[in-house]
Amino acid sequence: MSRHLSLRSGNPVLSKKTFNNSISRDNKMTIEGTVNKTAISLFLLIGAGYLTFNTVNLVLLIGCGIGGFILAIITFFKKEWSPITVPIYAVLEGLTLGGISKMYAEAFEPGLVPQAISLTVGILCALLFAYKTKIIKATENFKLGVFAATAGIVVVYIISLLMSLFGNSGLAVMDPTNASMLSIGFSLFVVFIASLNLVMDFDFIEQGAEHGAPKYMEWYGAFGLLVTLIWLYLEILKLLAKLNSRK
């Protein structure tokens, strides 16, 4: 295809170069195939999360978190390995999220986790419907705005991480026990931007299917959606914890 893909997602694993030089006449990527791969990945993630939700093992939690991060980097640079790396990534992230969810449930209230899951699924379905019915359109200006906002949030995350490494507790707005209006407002903004990234991901995957990307890119498309959904879930969990702290 002579026409290049434009910037489709603020999600760093779904950049504008993802499908470059990946065109295949046979065994092409399809939207249905990507949906199926995403469903498999979510099944593995939720199943693994259920195992660690019952018992929190800090060593396992840290180990799976690091392992998931390494696999994400490998998947980003070796997209053709996605059929192998993405299912393993889903399991490792599930084990990590299960432990994190358990800690939130114990620190705040048990109902926090099912609320976060329900809201995440609800946002996914609502935005998919809005995208398919053209209520929300992924225009170039819209995409650039979401990308810029996402990059800004990443900068805030990095600053907070660096502060915590040097003995500080990190930025106050990142603290799930901080119930100030500024902190809650920040979390609402992050949840909003994470949600809009889903729209960008839908559009990006649709463009990949239209351009005839190879079959393994279905797993990579599922990986991109998984990254966004995990981010969205964690931020919703943090937001609910902040709101719970106001009681």
Say which amino acid occupies 2: S
45 within a domain of the structure (yes/no)? yes
- Pick 19 or 107 by higher pLDDT: 107
Average pLDDT of span 150-179: 87
Does the pLDDT value for residue 213 go beyond 50? yes
Question: CA 34 → CA 83, 150, 178, 191, distances in Å?
Answer: 11, 24, 38, 24
Count how many domains the chain has: 1
| pLDDT the model gives residue 164 | 82
- Convert the pLDDT of each residue in 60-85 to its tens digit: 888 999 999 999 999 999 999 999 99
175 within a domain of the structure (yes/no)? yes
Q: What is this structure's pTM?
A: 0.86
- Convert the pLDDT of each residue in 218-239 to its tens digit: 999 999 999 999 999 999 999 9
Does the pLDDT value for residue 41 go beyond 80? yes
pLDDT band of residue 18 (cuts 50, 70, 90) is low
- Convert the pLDDT of each residue in 133-161 to its tens digit: 989 988 889 999 999 999 999 999 999 88
86 within a domain of the structure (yes/no)? yes
39 within a domain of the structure (yes/no)? yes
| pLDDT the model gives residue 196 | 95
Question: CA 40 → CA 90, 118, 199, 232, distances in Å?
Answer: 9, 19, 20, 19
168 within a domain of the structure (yes/no)? yes
Does the pLDDT value for residue 212 go beyond 90? no
| pLDDT the model gives residue 12 | 58
| pLDDT the model gives residue 1 | 38
pLDDT band of residue 27 (cuts 50, 70, 90) is confident
112 within a domain of the structure (yes/no)? yes
- Pick 121 or 163 by higher pLDDT: 121
25 within a domain of the structure (yes/no)? no
72 within a domain of the structure (yes/no)? yes
Average pLDDT value over all residues in the chain = 87
CA 7, distance to chain mean position in Å, is: 18
Parent domain of 221: 31-245
